[in-house]
Copies of this chain bind each other. A is one copy, B any other.
Amino acid sequence: MNSGDTAWLLTSTALVLLMTPALAFFYGGMVRRKNLLSTIMMSFAILCMVSILWIIYGYTMAFGPDVKGLIGNFSWLGLLGVGQDPSTVYATTVPHLAFMAFQATFAIITVALWTGAVVERIKFGALLAFAALWFTLVYCPVAHWVWGSGGWLAQLGALDFAGGTVVHVNAGISALALALVLGPRRGFKEGETMEPNNIPYVVLGAALLWFGWFGFNAGSALTAGRLAANAFVTTNTAAASAGFTWMLLGWIHRRPSVVGAATGAVVGLVAITPAAGFVQPWAAIPIGAIGSVISYYVMVWRAKANKVDESLDVFACHGMGGTWGALATGIFATTAVNTGGSGLIDGNWKQVLIQVVAIAATMVFAFGVSWLLAKALKATMGLRVKDEEEAVGLDISQHGENAYGGV
Contact = CB atoms under 8 A, between A and B. Distances in A.
A233 B14 CA distance: 11
A155 interface: no
Total copies of this chain within the assembly: 3
Interface stretch (A250-258, A308-316, A377-385): A250-258
Interface in A1-60: 1-8, 10-11, 13-15, 17-18, 21, 24-25, 28, 32-33, 36-37, 40-41, 44-45, 47-49, 51-52, 55
Contact of A255 (B6, B78, B398): B398
A401 interface: yes
A285 interface: yes
Contacts of A237: 51-52, 55
Contacts of A45: 243-244, 247, 256, 261
Interface centre among A218, A223, A229, A241 (most CB of B within 10 A): A229
B254 A52 contact: no
Interface string A137-165: 00000000000000000000000000000
Interface stretch (A90-98, A170-178, A325-333, A347-355): A90-98
B403 A199 contact: yes
What is the size category of the interface that chain A forms with chain B? 35 or more
Interface in A97-149: 97-98, 100-101, 104, 124
Contacts of A7: 3-5, 7-8, 11, 224
A401 B85 CA distance: 52
B33 A228 contact: no
A226 interface: yes
A8 B5 contact: no
A191 interface: no
A214 interface: yes
Interface centre among A48, A227, A259, A404 (most CB of B within 10 A): A48
9 contacts: A2-B3, A3-B7, A8-B11, A14-B214, A28-B200, A48-B240, A51-B236, A78-B282, A200-B403
Given A48-B239, A98-B229, 5 more contacts: A11-B11, A37-B258, A44-B207, A45-B261, A49-B244
